[in-house]
Structure 1
């Protein structure tokens, strides 16, 4: 009977149901993206991976092949596995509350592809968010936003039909949606945003260039106009290796004692755009 693969000094979770080769690839991917393995550096050989992780040669090879398929490494006989140039990309870093201010810059630094655009009856959850009757007509679009040819985010947007008919799919591919809403006479006044974790479904994984089931940042945003009417409900899935939220905290005193207050971080090169709506 074949024995299950053991785990070495770098322990893998053999009970998780996640293939061991994918777990090894995830660990090595994190090291590459963090800069622990520099561009041009040779990664451990398959034999060394076997020793480090306590896995078989087949598992080690599949892990390396996964990294190569993602463009993070190149493999050549006699040279080994080398980290590719540009593998450790600097992530976009934005403040949680600064998305409106970054919309204009976003349009200059990223590109968008409109994958789907049309009208349909609102699902119950969407109708509830937009304050519509269940089954009311809404516009739904799916877009993918990229930077230098690398996918950053998957955007699914729902708009009340009367607003959505003021622009086309071509418009969405050329301008940020916020600008299109304002062009239609919508006065954006407020938004509620939630941030959690999500997993890449097959269609999303293919569009973002990640493995199915990969962890993603899941951002939901409900935008309202000056009259309090919900005018946009958007779900955005970000690649966490290329996009992150940040805030600066200051310790201040108060009547009830010291507390932390958040400040928006300075806008550096990576914060110059927020690939949002």
Structure 2
């Protein structure tokens, strides 16, 4: 759970009291989700042995965690983490993100597999605020670079009132088509994860079923009557050997 550098920092001579350094090490592990909600904490004796500290030092570190409401002690049941970790969203300028998306589209080749209006699955329909019989544009695409497929894109889009075809999406990025139809995005949420390739994804991305893929879910909103409304739901699956997601972030000196 703890790296050699962290353990070394705990054991080295420092003006900070030893119990406080142990407390900070455990607190950071709880706050960043390494020690998850509901996890049982080591006993004071185990902490003392593992970190080569006295039991009094271990007890004081645990007392600090309990005083902050991060852990809860129960007689006969041990000490458990009660802090619930929630990952904080990373905020980035929307304009820059959309420009990068369009730039990637222009630097790659696309094959449009499907482009038709149909009824979305119930989960997507509810997110888009559609009635049961309403339809949305269903688009399936594969993007390649130098003949190698790197991304499989599946999307559902509402509010596209003018007819569109496979040829339109083969010639222009989706965002350009959105703007021509009056969809001006005001907010985008992206969630990145990992999945195992299904038979279909493996076929389109030239990999093996069960192979790891990067996954990205992008929800795009417009602002209407001072409310945000989801108009586009996109799932992307990337071949990890052919695609990298890089973010270059600078610290804000004002915080």
If the TM-score is normalised by the length of the shorter chain, which range does it land in?
0.5 to 0.7
* Equivalent-residue separation in structure 2 for 1:107 and 1:194 (angstroms): 19
CA–CA separation in structure 1 for the residues paired with 2:118 and 2:251:
49
> TM-score if structure 2 supplies the norm length?
0.57
Question: Counterpart in 1 of 2:185?
Answer: 188
Change (3 A) 1:124 1:175: same
Moved more, 183-192 or 221-230: 221-230
- The answer to whether the aligner puts 1:109 opposite 2:98 as a matched pair is no
Q: Cα distance, 1:197 vs. partner?
A: 0.7
1:175 aligned residue: 172
Shift of 1:243: 1.4
For residues 197 and 221 of structure 1, the distance between their equivalents in structure 2, rounded to whole angstroms, comes to 14
Distance change in 2, residues 1:250/1:106 (3 Å): closer
Alpha-carbon distance, 1:99 to partner:
3.1
Distance 1:117 1:111 in 2: 17
SS in 1 for 2:104: helix
Could you say which residue in structure 2 is the equivalent of 1:124?
Answer: 122
CA distance in structure 2 between the partners assigned to 1:183 and 1:169 by the alignment: 16
Q: Point out the structure with max Rg over C-alpha.
A: 2
**Greater strand percent: which structure?**
1
Q: Aligned partners of 1:173 and 1:189: how far apart in 2?
A: 25
The answer on whether the counterparts of 2:192 and 2:215 sit within 8 Å (CA) in structure 1 is yes
SS of the aligned residue for 2:207 comes to: coil
The number of residue pairs the alignment matches comes to: 160
Query: Are the equivalent residues in 2 in contact too, given 1:96–1:245 (CA < 8 A)?
Result: no
Q: Distance in 1 between matches of 2:130 and 2:168?
A: 25
User: RMSD across aligned C-alpha pairs, in angstroms?
Assistant: 2.3
Gapped regions of structure 1 (runs ≥ 5)? 1-94, 256-277
The answer as to 2:247 corresponding to 1:244 is no
For 1:175 and 1:111, the matched residues in 2 are separated by: 11
CA distance in structure 1 between the aligned counterparts of 2:103 and 2:249, rounded to whole angstroms = 25
CA deviation map 1:52-85 (0-9, x unaligned): xxxxxxxxxxxxxxxxxxxxxxxxxxxxxxxxxx
Deviations 1:203-228 (A, max 9, x none): 11111100011111110011112322
Asked if 1 retains the 8 angstrom alpha-carbon contact of 2:155 and 2:232, the reply is yes
Which structure has the highest helix share of the two? 2
